[in-house]
Amino acid sequence: MNVKEYINSNYKLVKSLKRDGSVMIARCTIDDALYVVKNKKAYDSEIYKRLKEADIDGIPKVYEVLEEKGGLWVIEEFVQGRTLEEFFGDEYLADVTGDSGKAVDDKASNSVAIDVTGDSGAAPTGGEALGGSAAESELPDNVLEVSFDSTGINGIKTENDAAEWMLTNVIISVSKTLNKLHTLNPPIIHRDIKPENIIITDLAEIKLLDFNISRGFTGKADKDTVAMGTKGFAPPEQYGFKESDARSDIYSLGATIKYLMEKTHCKSEMLSEFIKKAMSFDPKDRFQNVIEVIYFIKHYDDDETEALLSQAGNAGLAGNGNGAYSATGKNGASASAMDESDKEKLRLEIENKRLELEQTKANNRIYAYALAVGAILVIILIIALSL
C-alpha cells in the first residue's frame, strides 16, 4: 500500500482549505476524530519528523509524517481558536475584560476554525466543531497566566492594561515554546513568527503554527540557503546576510509585538524596551536566547535586571556565541534528552542568579553591621581600660 492509498483508506475528506487540495480537514476512520492533512511539494521532512518526536505542547501535535516520491504527507492536530491578527480585532478588549456582557468561554466557543498550517495566512470560513484531546489535569506552560486581586482579573483597569497584559502573555508563552525548539539537538529555528502564525485556542493556550520554512541550525553556514520569511517580520539575516539562529526568532517575536502594540495603540515602557532590544539590527545586540527574554519581562522593574542579563552567559545559558543553546547537557547528553530536573534547572538558573545576588547583598549588610558593632565594642573596651 502506497502513501496515497494509506491516506485514502484511513482519512475521509471533510473540507479542503486550499483549492489545490494541499491542506484538508479530514476525519480519521479509526478514532473518528478530525485532523489536518497536508500534502507538501517543497519541504524539509526532517523538521516534521523531529517535531513529531519532540511532541512539544506549544505547537500543533504532529501525528504522522509520510514521504513518497512527489511529496510529503503530514497529519497534524486540528486546533480551534483565533490567530493574534484576529484576536486583536475590534472586540479583543471584551474578551479580556469581560465587558461584552457575554462570558468569555461562550464567545470562544463561537470562534472560527483556524488553518493550523499557516500556509494561506487566512482562516477558513465557518465555525466547525473540531476534534482534539481534553485538557490535561496539569496545564501546559503556554496557557495564559491569570491572577485575581482586589482590582479584578490581573489588575486590569484600562484598555491599555488589557493590551499590555495580553502581549506580555504572548511573549512569555511563545518564548517558552521557542525554548523547547531552540534546545533541541540541533536547534529548530522557526523563521516565520508573525501574528497569523500564533493562535490563542479555546482552552486559552497560545500555540505557534506553520513550520513550512523552519530549518535546523548548524552554526556552520555563512547564510541561509534560501532567503525566506515575511516582510516586516523577518530579521535582516534571513535576506541572505548570514545564517539565521535563535536570535532570528527573537527578532520576529519583537516585530510581532511591535505590530500589535501599534494596532491596539498600547503604551508600555517595558514592551517598548523589549522591542528595541529584540529588533536590534545586529544579532549580537539582541537578547541572546529566550531565557533572557523571559527574565527581562518577569523582572523588568527589578534594579538588578540589567546586571543579571549581562551575567546570563556565566550561568551557562546565554548560548554558544551565535544565539543557539549548547547542544549538550550533563554528561554530554543532548538537550532534548535531558531529564526533568535538568530542564527545570535550565528554566530557573537565571532566577537563582538573582537570588544569589540578593543573598550577597544581605551578607554584605550583615558584615557591615558586625564591623560597626565590633568597632563600638573596641571603643567601649578602650574607654573602660583607661578609667
SS3 state of residue 233? coil
Q: Does 62 score more than 60 pLDDT?
A: yes
pLDDT tens profile 147-168: 655 556 666 778 888 899 999 9
Q: Does 255 score more than 90 pLDDT?
A: yes
- pTM of this prediction exceeds 0.75: no
44/214 Cα distance (integer angstroms): 8
282/298 Cα distance (integer angstroms): 24
Mean pLDDT of 114-132: 33
Which amino acid, residue 140? P
**Residue 157 has what pLDDT?**
76
Higher pLDDT, 71 or 267: 267
Q: Does 376 score more than 80 pLDDT?
A: yes
pLDDT tens profile 287-298: 999 999 999 999
Q: Is-contact 302 184, C-beta < 8 A?
A: no
What is the topology classification, in CATH, of domain 80-338? Answer: Transferase(Phosphotransferase); domain 1 (1.10.510)
**Residue 276 has what pLDDT?**
96
**Residue 382 has what pLDDT?**
85
Lowest mean pLDDT among 9-18, 170-179, 278-287, 314-323: 314-323
Lookup result for grid cell 521532512: 45
Residues in the chain: 387
**Percentage of the chain surpassing pLDDT 70?**
62
Lookup result for grid cell 497566566: 145
Higher pLDDT, 383 or 182: 182
To which H or E segment does residue 170 belong?
Answer: helix 159-182
245/252 Cα distance (integer angstroms): 12
8/22 Cα distance (integer angstroms): 14
**What cell does 326 get?**
549548547
Q: Is-contact 173 200, C-beta < 8 A?
A: no
